[in-house]
Structure 1
Amino acid sequence: MKKIKDVNDFNFKDKTVLLRVDYNVPINQYGKITDETRINYSLPTINKILFDKGKIVIISHFGRPKGVFNNKYSLKFLIPILSKKLKKYIFFCDKVIGNSTEEKIKNLKNGEIILLENLRFYKEEENGDKQFSYILSKYGDIYVNDAFGASHREHSSITILPKFFNKKCIGLLMKKEILNLSIFFSKKINSPITIILGGAKIESKINFIKNFMKFADYLLIGGGMSYPFIKIDGGNVGNSIIDNIQSKIQLIKEILYENKIKNIIYFPYDVIAIKSNDDNNIKIVPIHSIPNNWKGLDIGPNSIKNFCNIINKSKTILWNGPMGLFEKKIFSIGTISIAKAIIKRRNNAFTVVGGGDSILALKMIKSITKISYLSTGGGAMLEFIKNKTLPGINAISL
C-alpha cells in the first residue's frame, strides 16, 4: 500500500475539519454504552486537531434507522461522554444538512467541536448520493477519515465525500489499524497463523474463508458459522442456525473440497444443544448428528480442547466472532475458553481481536487490555486483511 497522509502531515490552525468517525458503539437496554473502545481510539486524532487550534465538525452513523429520524438512534447521547473525555463543551446539531447547520458551523471558533446528528437519518448516506456528499463537503476545509469500522462501506461520507476535497487524510485510529493489521500480509508474520471465526453473520464471513486459506495454518470455525458447512457435508444439524446460505452453497462446497486437500479448517467435534428453546433440556451431542428439534448454542468440551490446543501453539492469532450464544452463561463456556486461551498467548504470539461480540467476551473476563491489538472493526478488519485495503482508504489515496 502506498503511503497516504495522516493528521500528523497537516497543521489545522484556523481550519475547519470534517472528521468522519465511527461512533456506532454498543449500548445496553438502558441506553448505556457497554464498550467505549471506538470513542477512546478516536481521541488522539481529535486532540491533535485541537492542539493545532483547528475547528472540528464530527460526523458519524449509529444503528440502522433506515433513512428516517428515530430518536432511539440520535447521537445526542454522546455529548456528555465526549465532553467528559475531552474536558470541553461539545456543541450538537440536530440536523446534518440545512441552513441552521451551516450557520452553526460557520460560527465555530478555533478549538471548538460540533457533533452532527446521525448520518443514517438520511437515506442518501447509504445510497452513496453525490449531492448529499457535496453539501457535506461545504462544512470543512480538510476531510479526515478516522472511521475504520465503517470504511468497508461504499457510503456517501466514506467514499464519495472525500472526492470533493483537495486536502484529505486519515486519522490516527485508521493509521494504527493499518499498521497493526498489515502484519497479516507482510514478511514479518510469524507462523503458525491461526484465524478463528464464529458468530452468526454467516453470509458475509464465508466470503473471507477462501482467501484466509491461502496464508493461515489453521482456520477454526465455530458458532453459527460452522453449521452450514456441517449440513452441506452431510451432517444433521437439527434446528441450528443456517440462515442466508442459498447463494453461498457452491462456495461452501468449494471450501470443503479444498480443505480435504489442505486440511486447514477445523470445525467443532461436539456442541452444547438445547431442545425447542428449553434451557433446562440441554445435552452434549456430536455436531454431525444434532437431533431434530435440537439446536447447537455453544461448542462442546472436546471442541474446546482441540481449539485451545491449536491456539496454544500459534504465533499469530486473529479472532472474530463468538463460539455460541455466549450472552447466556450456560452457553458461554466455549467463547470464554477461546478468549482465555488467546490471552495466555500474549507473551508468545501477536494476538488480534475484532468485532463487538469478541470484544465483549474479553470485557466479561476483564482482559480487554491483554491483547496485542484490539481492532475497532469486525467486517472492516476481515475485509482489510483480505484485500489489503478498504474503499474508505482508497478514497483518501486518490
Structure 2
Amino acid sequence: MASVKTIKDVNLAGKRVFVRVDFNVPFDAQGNISDDTRIVGALPTIKHLVDQGAKVILASHLGRPKGEKNLKYTLAPVAKALSERLGQPVLFVPDCIGPEAEKAANELADGGVILLENARFYKGEEKNDPEFCQALAKLADAYVNDAFGTAHRAHATTEGITKYISGPKVSGFLIEKELDFLGEKTAKPERPFAVILGGAKVSDKITVIEALLEKCDTMLIGGAMAYTFALAQGKKVGDSLSEPDKIETAKACLAKAEAKGVNFLLPVDTLVTDKLDFGNAQVGETKIVEGDIPDGWQGVDIGPKTIELYKSEVAKAKTILWNGPMGVFEIKECAKGTFAVAEAVAEADAISIIGGGDSVKAIKKSGYGDKVSFISTGGGASLEFLEGKTLPGVAALEQA
C-alpha cells in the first residue's frame, strides 16, 4: 500500500478537523476504564492538532451497540479520562450528528477539543450509509484517521465520510507508525528477519503465513496451530486443538517454506495436560512429551527444548515480527513458553514488532511491553495489512 499524507504535511489551523480515533477501551465491573492504552496512543495526534490551532472533533465507536442508543456503551467516561490525560477540557457531545453536534463543532474555539457520542449508536455507521456520512461531514472541513484498529472496515467514520469532505484527508501519527512498522519495516527488513506465529488456527493466519514466507528468513510456529502442522507431518496430537481439515493447507506451507529456503521451525517438545478448564484458569496433571501426544492429553504450551531453540533463533534476528501466543498463556502453568519468547524478543538486538491481538496482551502480561520497538493497535487490521490487503480506512486518505 502506497504511503499516505499525514498531519505533518498539511496546515489545519482554524479548521474543524474530524478525527477518527479508536477509543474502544475496556471497562471493569465498577465502570472504570481498565486499560487506557488506546487513549494514550491518540494523544500525540490530538496534541499536534491542538498546538496547531485546529478545532478538534473526535469520533469513535465503543463496543457493539448494534445501531441502537445504549448508554452502556457511552463515550462520556472516555471524555473525562481524555481531558485528564490531555490537560485541557474535552467537551462531550451526546450525539455524533444533528443540530447539537453541529452547534458544538461550529462554536469550537481554535485548539478546542470535543468528543462525539458513539458512532455505532447509528446503523449508518457500520452500513457506511451515504446519508449518515453526509451528516457527519457537515461537522468538519478536514479529516484525520488515526484509528488503525478499524482501518480494515469500510464504515462511515473510517471511509464514507471522506467522500463528502472537501478539505485535506490525512493520517494521524498512530496510523503513520503502523504503516511504517507493519509495512516498510517488514517489506524491506533488516536481516535475518524472524517471524513468530502462534494462536489457535492455521485457517485464521494462512494468508499471513503465505505472505510472510515471501519475506522472512525464519518462521517459528507455536500455539494450537502447531498441532495442525504436526498432523501434516504425520504425527499424533492426542486431544489437542487442531484443524484436521487444514492438513493439506499446512503441507502446502511446509513445501513453500522449503522451496523458499525459509527455516521453518515447529515445536520439538510440548507441555501437555489431561484436563483443561479455561474458564477457571486451571489444568489437571501436566507433563512434557516429545513426538506424538498420547490420546487423552492435549498440548497447552511449547516445552523447554523448544523454548531454548526458539530463544536462540530470536537472538540472531535483526527484525522480529510476533503475532500470537505460544500456548494458553492466560493460565499460569501454561504461560512459560509465551513469556520466554516475550523476553527473548524484548532482549534481542533487533527491530521488534508485536502484531496486535493476544500477542499484545501477552507481551504486556509478561512485563516486557516497554522493551519492544512497536506494539500494533490493530488486531484484524494488522493481519489484513500483513496479508497485503488494501485497508479502506487507509485507501480513503490522500496519497503522499
* TM-score, normalised by the number of residues in structure 1: 0.88
Partners in 2 of 1:97 and 1:201 — Cα distance?
40
Match of 2:343 among 340, 343, 348: 340
2:64 is matched with 64
Match of 1:139 in 2: 139
- The alpha-carbon deviation at position 280 of structure 1 amounts to 5.0
Q: Which SS does the other structure have where 1:237 is aligned?
A: coil
For 1:340, what is the secondary structure of its paired residue? helix
- The residue that corresponds to 1:229 in the other structure is 229
Q: Is the 8 A contact 2:356 2:375 kept in 1?
A: no
Equivalence map 1:308-319=2 (5 Å): 308-319=311-322
Map Cα deviations across residues 209-234 of structure 1 (whole Å, 9 max, x no partner). 11100111111121133233333444
Go from structure 1 to structure 2 and tell me whether the alpha carbon gap of 1:207 and 1:123 turns closer, same or farther (over 3 Å shift).
farther
Extract unaligned runs of 5+ from structure 1.
Answer: none
8 Å CA contact 2:148–2:174 kept in 1: the answer is yes
* Whole-angstrom distance in 1 between the partners of 2:353 and 2:384: 14
Alignment of 1:142-291 (within 5 A): 142-166=142-166, 167-181=168-182, 182-186=184-188, 189-200=189-200, 202-242=202-242, 251-261=249-259, 262=261, 264-277=263-276, 279=282, 281-286=284-289, 289-291=292-294
Aligned equivalents of 2:262 and 2:10: distance in 1? 49
**1:5/1:31 Cα in 2 relative to 1: closer, same or farther (>3 Å)?**
same
Match of 1:359 in 2: 360
- AA aligned to 1:185 is A
Q: Does 1:102 align with 2:114?
A: no
User: Equivalent residue of 2:396, what SS?
Assistant: helix
Greater Cα offset, 196-205 or 309-318: 196-205
Range 208-217 or range 294-303, more displaced: 294-303
SS at match of 2:77: helix
Provide the C-alpha distance between the structure 2 equivalents of 1:99 and 1:205, rounded to a whole number of angstroms. 45
Q: 1:197 to 1:28 in 2, by over 3 A?
A: farther
Letter in 1 for 2:317: S
Match of 2:306 among 303, 314, 327: 303
CA-to-aligned-CA distance 1:249-274 (integer Å, 9 cap, x gap) = 65434223323544532222232222
Secondary structure in 2 matching 1:41 = helix
| SS of equivalent residue, structure 1 residue 236 | coil
CA contact (8 A) 1:24 1:61 kept: yes
SS of equivalent residue, structure 2 residue 285: strand
Following superposition, the deviation at residue 57 of structure 1 comes to 1.3
| CA shift in 2, pair 1:277/1:385, >3 Å | closer
Instruction: Give the distance between the partners of 1:224 and 1:66, measured in 2 at CA.
Output: 32
Aligned-pair distance for 1:101? 2.6
Task: Sort the Cα spacing of 1:195 and 1:25 in 2 relative to 1 into closer, same or farther, 3 A.
Answer: farther
Matched residue count: 392
* SS class of match (1:317): strand
* Larger displacement relative to structure 2 (270-279 or 219-228): 270-279
Residues 47-77 of structure 1, C-alpha deviation per residue, up to 9 Å, x if partnerless?
Answer: 1111122211111122333333444433222
Aligned residue type for 1:169: V
Pick which of 298-307 and 123-132 moved more. 123-132
Which residue number in structure 2 is paired with residue 83 of structure 1?
83
Structure 2 CA distance for partners of 1:94 and 1:224, relative to 1, 3 Å: farther
Distance 1:107 1:136 in 2: 16
Residue 396 of structure 1 aligns to a residue in which SS?
Answer: coil
5+ residue gaps in structure 2? none
- Contact 2:211/2:388 (8 A) holds in 1: no
The 10-residue stretch of structure 1 (22-31 or 364-373) with the greater mean CA deviation from structure 2: 22-31
